[in-house]
């Protein structure tokens, strides 16, 4: 469970946001909900953005959808603040954050540098390693890499990932050495930089953050026919099991929350977000990656974790938007 300090803080915030009304919502002015974009995660972003937009409107906020693929970002000068629900490149990598900084428009979530680092799996790992935080061994690979040496170093199975994609786009679990080249080719279709990562056998967990504090841990249990929590499991299937409570002891859950909070802060992430982690068969926790603009669809994990703290979806969206008011004072 969350420690008492975090839990009481978040519960107080929850009741605060449940009481919002139309007159209170006017303090936000005109809000652009940034959705869609041009990345491989466009469809997920449209779903997330639609859900967030509807929640804010229900809460009395003067919000409009804004798709940077369809409109010039210079039109954002007509808004008072932005709720970023752009997943992947262009929206989660510091680009749109830089535009908003230049236009002096407060926005939700992590800033330019933390977004750029969080979108780069290798840079994220380098920072975690430098901070002595546990993350799985990896290698940058290409078609020219000595794959025999990669297998000798990382072992099998391993996982191949595009370095700059999210939502498990282009990822493959490799169990046989002869399948490695094809997995790298698949990942290269999505990104010029590809990494091989040691496969951690064990339980997968996700830790969400709201206002910089960890929410209850969720255990992810994909169906038996799925190798890992991939794109289909995240967005298309309804047979993934979500464990809340997560099944860890109170001590282990607190340890995992504290580890992930350090990892979240180390890359410069702030506000809200999510970190994915594993616990291996020996009980050791391993950090996988950070997500600075998590999904907000019906299948998404941050709403599930927030709901365990008493936040309904509308209150969660307003709570995230509230973070932009604090940015105005800095």
Q: What is the pLDDT along the chain (330 residues), one digit of tens a residue?
A: 444 545 555 555 554 444 444 458 999 999 999 999 998 889 999 999 999 999 999 999 999 999 999 999 999 999 999 999 999 889 999 999 999 999 999 999 999 999 999 999 999 999 999 999 999 999 998 878 888 999 999 999 999 998 876 556 678 888 888 888 888 888 888 777 889 999 999 999 999 999 989 999 999 987 665 554 444 544 444 567 899 999 999 999 999 999 999 999 999 999 999 999 999 999 999 999 999 999 998 778 999 999 999 999 999 999 999 999 987 755
Structure tokens, 26: 């006017």
DSSP string, 272-293: EEEEEEEEETTS-EEEEEEESS
What is the distance between the alpha carbons of residues 168 and 179, in angstroms, rounded to a whole number? 18
All domains of the chain, ordered by start, with CATH? Answer: 4-108 (3.40.50.20), 137-199 (3.30.1490.20)
Is the distance from CB of 106 to CB of 84 less than 8 angstroms?
Answer: no
Structure tokens, 107: 């926005």
Structure tokens, 219: 């255990």
What is the distance between the alpha carbons of residues 264 and 247, in angstroms, rounded to a whole number? 23
Angle between helices 180-188 and 147-154 (to 10 degrees): 100
Pairing status of strand 62-66 against strand 158-162: unpaired
Contacts of 171 (CB under 8 A, 6+ apart): 159, 160, 161, 162, 187, 228, 230
What residues act catalytically?
41, 167, 235, 274, 276, 289, 291, 295
């Amino acid at each position: 469970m969350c420690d008492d300090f975090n839990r009481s803080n978040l519960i107080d915030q929850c009741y605060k946001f449940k009481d919002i009304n139309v007159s209170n919502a006017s303090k936000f002015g005109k809000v652009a909900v940034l959705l869609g974009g041009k990345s491989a995660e466009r469809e997920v972003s449209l779903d997330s953005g639609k859900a967030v937009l509807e929640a804010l409107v229900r809460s009395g906020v003067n919000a409009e959808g804004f798709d940077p693929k369809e409109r010039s970002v210079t039109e954002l000068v007509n808004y008072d603040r932005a709720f970023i629900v752009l997943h992947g490149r262009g929206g989660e990598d510091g680009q749109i954050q830089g535009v908003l900084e230049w236009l002096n428009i407060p926005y939700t979530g992590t800033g330019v540098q933390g977004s750029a680092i969080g979108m780069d799996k290798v840079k994220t790992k380098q920072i975690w390693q430098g901070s002595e935080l546990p993350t799985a061994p990896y290698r940058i690979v290409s078609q020219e890499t000595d794959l025999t040496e990669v297998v000798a170093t990382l072992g099998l199975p391993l996982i191949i990932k595009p370095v700059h994609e999210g939502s498990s786009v282009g990822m493959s679990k490799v169990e046989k050495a002869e399948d490695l080249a094809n997995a790298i080719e698949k990942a290269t279709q999505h990104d010029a930089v590809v990494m091989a990562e040691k496969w951690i056998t064990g339980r997968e967990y996700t830790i969400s953050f709201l206002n910089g504090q960890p929410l209850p841990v969720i255990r992810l249990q994909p169906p038996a026919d799925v190798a890992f929590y991939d794109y289909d499991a995240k967005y298309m299937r309804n047979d993934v099991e979500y464990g809340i409570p997560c099944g860890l002891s109170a001590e282990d859950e607190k340890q995992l929350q504290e580890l992930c909070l350090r990892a979240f802060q180390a890359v410069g992430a702030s506000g809200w977000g999510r970190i994915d982690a594993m616990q291996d068969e020996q009980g050791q926790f391993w950090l996988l990656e950070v997500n600075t603009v998590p999904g907000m669809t019906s299948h998404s994990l941050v709403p599930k974790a927030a709901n365990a703290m008493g936040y309904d979806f509308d209150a969660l969206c307003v709570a995230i938007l509230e973070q932009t008011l604090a940015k105005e004072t800095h």
